[in-house]
Amino acid sequence: MRVFKFGGASVKDADAVKNVVSVLQEVGYKDTLVVISAMGKTTNAMENVVESYFNDKNNLPTAIQEVEEYHQGILADLFENPQHPIHAKVKLLFEELKGFLAWNKSPKYAFVYDQVVCYGELLSTTIMSAYLNEVNIPNTWLDVRSMIKTDNTYRDAQVNWERTQAEVVNHVDMANLNITQGFLGSDDNNFTTTLGREGSDYTAAILAYCLNAESVTIWKDVPGVLNADPRNFENAELLEQISYREAIELAFYGASVIHPKTLQPLQRKEIPLHVKSFVSPKDPGTTVGKGVGIVPKVPCFIVKKNQVLLKLSSLDFSFIVENNISEIFKLFHDHRLKVDMIQNSAISFSVCLDNKFKGLQPLLEELKRKFKVVCHEDVSLYTIRHFNDEAVKSLQNGKSVLVEQRGKETVQLVVK
């Protein structure tokens, strides 16, 4: 069995949905499990629904209506018959969403987030499955929440691998085409959980691991894994081959093509990962697998924007040692700030953080009780794997470098 993953850009409108069908017809779809993300920018729109629910109830009907109208537009373009059963299925999903928001009593943002945002994937896969049937490609729609079992860490759930393995084998029809959702799971009480933003790649890897799949293919709007994001860097080059180890390094530092968690389960069973273009499906793309580092061997540029740089020093000029650092990292964990780079000396400690869960302000209040704190917001963290002097100079030009850290193969710069 093969596992395919199509992201939001590949199903953003009716033409994109039709193109997915063309890709499947061109490369084959038997013995295939297809993981599909929410359509286009639906996850962002669903996050707006959650935000309205908590902070602007008057806007809530409008926020939901925008999502509904977007999907209705796609339905109108895909299905000529206004009485097609897909319309009732989509209507029911929106009724479920509105029903949850009406009866929910939980004040926990992360819990509500997962119960609401999941409808993006449920809608996209329901529509995709119906359209495939419409063009005579029979398929089985699967609810991934019945397969991927997790703990109840909402918005960043951890997989229960033993239970997931059993459920996946029990649910997947190995001989046919299967359609399911990315990003989602469920806890012991069958409440929806999510695996973190951009977690659909990880979903594909989990399912591939459990099925002993022959390969995973991530279909993108780029020709494969590039040595730099073309939105931020000029003259990006295609990487034809990448080892698991190198891909994990790139993902860890923030390369956006492959989700950081995706590679570990694939590496354990040596399942190759292909990253290919849904525009040109027969092009070779990039293969991630066992063996060589990177082909061709060129510097790889990664940037993380909207980061926070903290510089901490002790109020009494004493050393910052193990007990201080342990306390600091516990605070990062408690306030859900992800550490992307650290640098320390005897009396100071610098750290670049991702504030995606908005825990910075309460963190600063606690840190300032024990440390002198200098905070730089809205900085960018640049990482270059396999750097050379020319690559480093290209990033330094015209920028204020706040922190620079070099290793044997990697250099990181925090710039303003």
Q: Which amino acid is at 91?
A: K
List Cβ neighbours of 55 (8 Å cut-off, separation of 6 or more). none
Query: Smallest Cα–Cα separation from 412: which of 326, 350, 346?
Result: 350
CA distances from 283 to 239, 241, 289 (A): 13, 14, 18
Contact between residue 146 and residue 190 where contact means Cβ atoms under 8 Å apart = no
- C-alpha–C-alpha distance, residues 180 and 129, integer Å: 9
231 in a labelled binding site = yes
Tokens of 256: 């956006």
Residues paired with 353 in a beta bridge: 308, 339
User: What region, left, alpha or beta, does residue 377 occupy, with left being phi > 0 and alpha being psi -120 to 50 degrees?
Assistant: beta
Q: Which amino acid is at 215?
A: S
- Name the CA radius of gyration of the chain, rounded: 23
- C-alpha–C-alpha distance, residues 163 and 85, integer Å: 34
Query: Smallest Cα–Cα separation from 38: which of 150, 197, 243, 252?
Result: 197
- C-alpha–C-alpha distance, residues 212 and 271, integer Å: 8
Residues of the chain by 3-state class (helix, strand, coil), percent to 5: 40, 25, 35
Strand ranges in 260-347 using DSSP code E only, listed in sequence order: 273-277, 286-289, 294-295, 300-314, 338-344
Residues paired with 150 in a beta bridge: 159
Burial state string for 244-275 with b = 16 or more CB within 10 A and e = fewer than 16: bebbbbbbebbbebbbbbbbebbbeeebbbbb
Name the helix (H) or strand (E) containing 410.
strand 410-415
- Quick count: other Cβ atoms within 10 Å of Cβ 77? 13
List Cβ neighbours of 136 (8 Å cut-off, separation of 6 or more). none
Q: Which residues are annotated as a binding site for ATP?
A: 231
Q: Which residues are annotated as a binding site?
A: 231
